[in-house]
A = this chain, B = another copy of it.
Amino acid sequence: MLYLDDLHIGQRFKSGTHTIDAVEIKAFARQFDPQPFHLDDGAAKDTIFSGLAASGWHTAAITMRLLVDSGLPLAGGIVGAGGEIAWPKPTRPGDTLQVESEVMDITPSRSRPDRGTVTVRSVTRNQKNEVVQELKARLIVPRRV
């Protein structure tokens, strides 16, 4: 597991994969984002998505799972203070997602010598290498003390 002191700008990590199906897409949507384009294949055809698509928050949640399981081995876990997120393309049933992360910035805390903030850019791609999510997250990372 990596501490702030072990990280350098440009360092890269690659996660395992997760293949999503329509059952998962609809189950997440029923709970958190019950809109026709996430719930029903037929109704989704006549929407801006032109077919069933995962909620962006579902793509974000799957990305987090991939990062926690295999994508970003940080000491203290993956603790986000916030960030920027974009969904250039929707996640579709049958898509296989994988996350590549890169350390963009490392800032030791001035007030708390035991930690710092690391900006990590995590790009989630499908099996066609299309970007379905780009996340620039500010993470709290402990220092070796």
Contacts and interface: CB of A to CB of B under 8 A. Distances in A.
B37 A77 contact: yes
Given A65-B33, A83-B85, A86-B82, A76 B47 contact: yes
Main SS at interface, chain A: mixed
Interface size class, chain A: 35 or more
A88 to B, nearest CB: 8
Interface in A62-94: 62, 64-65, 68-69, 76-87
Contacts of A57: 57, 60-61, 64
Contacts of A33: 61, 64-65, 68
A22 to B, nearest CB: 17
